[in-house]
């Protein structure tokens, strides 16, 4: 069975529940457990609006987990540990994905296995991760509002959210698309994103970066299915 990645998203209401969720991000329960088949994990905060913003969204948090296979991934979703995240949430979803391809590094690690196979359905999910060099933080974020606005031109986007390990510096984007063609058009031909991405690479904005593609084979929960 192939490696399985889960992007879990949790939405909270009320100051107390949001504060507790922020605490779980800083002190993740995952860190205190031996979880069968877990090979990589990261807790995330999120950006406001469509997600690509310097302003945080304290109502939405995310957890990335990578498992040896689908069975162990589902066991984690069904575990009591996951209930610590979901029981107090207003809504949540788990996006289960098989990894397709990955290039680059995540803090000198390569958490996603590449199988380089065509997915059985057109839908595709994309995750990018970049650690910005401090001197390029302003130049990077100056371009973000225009890029974020340009995503409105793509009805093929099923879901998108900007998340991160650390505000401004360690940035992750996650998106689900109806098909690969629309995603590629945005990545390389979009006049806001394409040139900005190329400049970031040419100028060396990042200490490290990663680009990974996945086949989202199941979405559980009501947050992304409403």
In a domain, residue 182? The reply is: yes
Q: What is the model's pLDDT at position 101?
A: 92
Full residue range of the structural domain in which residue 155 is found: 4-221
pTM, entire model: 0.92
Q: pLDDT digit string (tens) for 126-158?
A: 999 988 898 888 888 888 888 888 888 899 999
CATH number, residue 34: 3.30.70.100
- Structural domain total, the chain: 1
Say whether 202 sits in a helix, a strand or coil. Answer: helix
In a domain, residue 186? The reply is: yes
Within 8 A by CB and 6+ apart from 167, the residues are: 45, 54, 56
Query: Burial, 152: exposed, middle or buried (Cβ in 10 Å; 0-12, 13-18, 19+)?
Result: exposed
**DSSP of 123-146:** -EEEEEEEEE-GGGHHHHHHHHHH
């Amino acid at each position: 069975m192939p490696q399985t990645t889960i992007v879990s998203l949790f939405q909270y209401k009320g100051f107390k529940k949001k504060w507790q969720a922020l605490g779980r991000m800083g002190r993740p329960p995952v860190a205190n457990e031996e979880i069968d088949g877990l090979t990589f994990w990261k807790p995330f905060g999120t950006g406001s609006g469509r997600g690509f913003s310097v302003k945080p969204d304290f109502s939405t948090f995310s957890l990335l987990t990578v498992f040896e296979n689908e069975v162990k991934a589902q066991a984690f979703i069904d575990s009591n540990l996951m209930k610590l995240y979901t029981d107090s949430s207003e809504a949540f979803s788990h996006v289960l994905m098989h990894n397709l391809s990955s290039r680059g590094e995540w803090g000198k690690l390569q958490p996603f296995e590449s199988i380089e196979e065509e997915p059985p359905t057109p839908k595709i999910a994309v995750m990018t991760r970049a650690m910005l060099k401090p001197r390029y933080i302003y130049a990077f974020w100056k371009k973000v509002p225009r890029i974020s606005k340009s995503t409105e031109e793509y009805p093929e986007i099923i879901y998108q959210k900007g998340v991160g390990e650390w505000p401004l510096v360690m940035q992750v984007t996650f998106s689900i698309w109806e098909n690969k063609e629309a995603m590629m058009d945005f990545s390389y031909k979009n006049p806001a994103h394409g040139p900005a991405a190329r400049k970031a690479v040419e100028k060396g904005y990042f200490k490290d970066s990663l680009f990974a593609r996945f086949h989202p084979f199941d979405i559980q929960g009501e947050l992304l299915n409403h």
